[in-house]
Amino acid sequence: MQKQTWTIKSIISWTSNYFSEKDVDAPRISAELLLGSVLDLSRVNLYINYDKPLSDSELKQYKTYIQRRIGGEPTQYITGTQEFWSLDFKVTPSVLIPRADTETLVERALAFISTCQQTPLNILEIGTGSGAISIAIAHELKERDLQIKAIDISEDALKIAEENATLNGVAEKIEFLLSDKFNAVSKSEKFDLIISNPPYISEEFYDKLESKVKDHEPKLALYADEDGLIFYREIFSAGHGHLNEGGCILIEIDHRKKDDLISLVDNEKYSAPVFYKDLPGLNRVLEITKRSTSQE
């Protein structure tokens, strides 16, 4: 960068070109998010202040952010935030960065909940990570009498999730619990809805992940041994005993595993799986409902 007075406008345009040359994805948005984080301005406010010059210290901090992004670090871990369901979430390398595709899971959960009469309605989330899914649901249904238990195997992730629940004003609706799948959930506890975006990248696909994901996001939240289906096996089998009659499991999937997942579902215990697509058109969410006639 030459010595000159940089304005918000000129530095965004310089960075977008530089990021494009260096094959950084979403070059302009990344530049705007990084600069917005340095200046504590939303993207809209950057536009309003287009001609504002940057101070030396702002420029210095921004340069370190650019270097980190060029080094492969995801923008969200540099700014420490990600938007999901139009809410702001704190993210660190201890949690997966919430994906827009996962909003499909929130949509389906809200659709299911709208058909339920129970009060309170009990929801279990397995592997909450940043807390994005549970927090989005609780925030959307502020008036509804519902209780969410959100569990994770990572203590560091739970700390972030708790902070995010407080930041978004839903802390009283969600109980966070350290648990490896159902281990810390009492045997007799039942839920109307079990939701999860479990780790599902199989051995075969993990090595092929882009380095932005593989080298920076937590393997614990992405990788599932061998065929990538271990969490589905456990959640389908143990989840059945934790569901109320008519209760349902909504779970994010790798679209390439649809057929394997169909054969994993026990038809005596659950209805035939229904699949929902994300915005790009890929099967993203599987729904199964506990059969009301089933014996336990």
Q: Can you give the binding site for ligand GLN, defined by CB under 6 A?
A: 99, 197-201, 213, 222, 252
Q: Which is nearer to ligand GLN, 11 or 252 (CB)?
A: 252
Q: Which is nearer to ligand GLN, 95 or 170 (CB)?
A: 95
Q: Min. distance of Cβ 199 from ligand GLN in angstroms?
A: 5
Q: Which is nearer to ligand GLN, 191 or 232 (CB)?
A: 232
Give the three-state DSSP class for 98.
Answer: coil
- Distance (Å) of CA 62 to CA 30, 57, 231, 248: 12, 9, 41, 47
Q: Which is nearer to ligand GLN, 18 or 205 (CB)?
A: 205
Q: Min. distance of Cβ 208 from ligand GLN in angstroms?
A: 11
Q: Min. distance of Cβ 162 from ligand GLN in angstroms?
A: 21
Q: Which is nearer to ligand GLN, 148 or 285 (CB)?
A: 285
Q: 220 burial class (0-12, 13-18, 19+ CB within 10 angstroms)? A: middle
Placement of tokens 């994906």 in the chain? 99
Residue 236 in contact with residue 270, Cβ under 8 Å?
yes
Phi–psi pair at 26, nearest 5 degrees:
45, 60
User: Helix (H) and strand (E) counts for the chain?
Assistant: 13, 9
Q: Min. distance of Cβ 60 from ligand GLN in angstroms?
A: 33
Q: 234 burial class (0-12, 13-18, 19+ CB within 10 angstroms)? A: middle
Angle at 166 between CA 161 and CA 170, to 5 degrees: 95
Q: Which is nearer to ligand GLN, 78 or 126 (CB)?
A: 126
Q: Min. distance of Cβ 10 from ligand GLN in angstroms?
A: 34
Q: Which is nearer to ligand GLN, 40 or 207 (CB)?
A: 207
| Start-to-end CA span in the chain (Å) | 68
Residue 277 in contact with residue 104, Cβ under 8 Å?
yes
- Beta carbons within 10 angstroms of residue 269's beta carbon: 18
Tokens of 39: 């200046």
Rounded Cα distance between 142 and 89, Å, is 18
Q: Min. distance of Cβ 295 from ligand GLN in angstroms?
A: 32
Q: Min. distance of Cβ 96 from ligand GLN in angstroms?
A: 6
